[in-house]
Amino acid sequence: MTSVAPPSLAERSHPLTIDGSADGGGRAVLRARGELVQGCDAVLAEALAELPARTGRVELDMAGVIFMDTAGRQFLDTLRDYGQQHLIPVSATNWHGQPRRILELIGLDTSDPLRPVDPNPPVLPSPAPLPSPVSLERAEQLHELREEIEHLRRAIASRPVIDQARGILMATHSCTSDEAWHILREASQLSNTKLHTVAAAITCGAESGGPPPPGEVREALRQALARRGR
């Protein structure tokens, strides 16, 4: 079983591939190779969809991944969602090089970034300015990397409340995890409200005595649910 990512980001020369195998005990081992960029979450989803129905554990070996940008967030979300939907343990291990450095900088466990996020991530020191052109170029690259890391950190920090909101929608409206995700996204777009804000409003409203979501969020949720026959 081999899945290959479509070309992206100026036709990168090392598209991501995922090879997999499953043993008789229900353990599946997937091996990722290449560059983890936009679109690679779909490659992972395809590889996961091809696993046997009896699979009881998924281990993703990242040793062959040589580059990762902010698309790594959705890639890890895809693996996490698969484990939650099938109620099985999943892991992503053997990170090396630049991908491992990104995990270190944002405070994730480099042995398995799907573990809980460190509540006190390390603060990156400001680089000392150097006059040479090479140093200026490196400083610009570091700035871009910090922006990618910050986007990834914010997305990971908001993940728990989004997962809670999806669970509430699944329990309340008898929908699947994927349907709940699309309902949240549609409600966010219809109300012009950030996704994590919509999720937080749903979570707070589900608590005993909690405030109901704002009117625009309630109306957007109603429309999103109606579109999916809920």
CA distance 122 to 212: 36
pLDDT score for 58: 93
Calculate ∠ Cα 192-204-210, nearest 5°. 125
Contacts of 106 (CB under 8 A, 6+ apart): 121, 149, 152, 153, 156
β-pairing, 2-4 with 17-22?
antiparallel
Residue 214 within a domain: yes
DSSP calls for 103-122: HHHTT--TT-TTSPPPSSPP
Instruction: State the DSSP code for 68.
Output: E
CATH number at residue 82: 3.30.750.24
What is the total count of domains within the chain? 2
Q: Could you give the C-alpha distances from 121 to 28, 102, 149, in angstroms and in order?
A: 32, 12, 12
Instruction: Return phi, psi of residue 11, to 5°.
Output: 55, 60
Residue 57 within a domain: yes
Helix, strand, or coil (residue 96): coil
**Which residue, of 94, 118, 142, is where some domain finishes?**
118
Q: Check: CB of residue 34 under 8 Å from CB of residue 17.
A: yes
pLDDT score for 211: 87
pTM equals 0.48
pLDDT score for 6: 46
Count CB neighbours of 175 within 10 A. 19
- Do 165 and 92 reside in the same domain of the chain? no
β-pairing, 90-93 with 57-68?
parallel
**Which residue, of 67, 93, 118, is where some domain finishes?**
118
- Do 7 and 87 reside in the same domain of the chain? yes
- Do 173 and 95 reside in the same domain of the chain? no
- Do 32 and 98 reside in the same domain of the chain? yes
Residue 22 within a domain: yes
Domain span at residue 211? Answer: 160-227
- Do 85 and 189 reside in the same domain of the chain? no
Q: pLDDT tens track of the chain, all 230 residues? A: 555 554 444 445 789 999 988 887 889 999 999 999 888 999 999 999 999 988 999 999 999 999 988 788 889 989 999 989 989 999 999 999 999 988 888 777 888 988 755 556 566 676 665 556 766 777 788 888 788 777 666 666 667 888 888 888 888 888 888 898 899 999 999 999 888 899 888 888 888 778 888 989 889 899 988 887 76
Cα-only R_g, the chain: 20
- Do 18 and 70 reside in the same domain of the chain? yes
Per-residue buried b or exposed e for 143-160, using 16+ beta carbons within 10 Å of the residue's own CB: eebeebbeebbebbebbe
- Do 101 and 179 reside in the same domain of the chain? no
**Which residue, of 68, 85, 118, is where some domain finishes?**
118
pLDDT score for 157: 61
- Do 90 and 6 reside in the same domain of the chain? yes
33's tokens = 């190779």
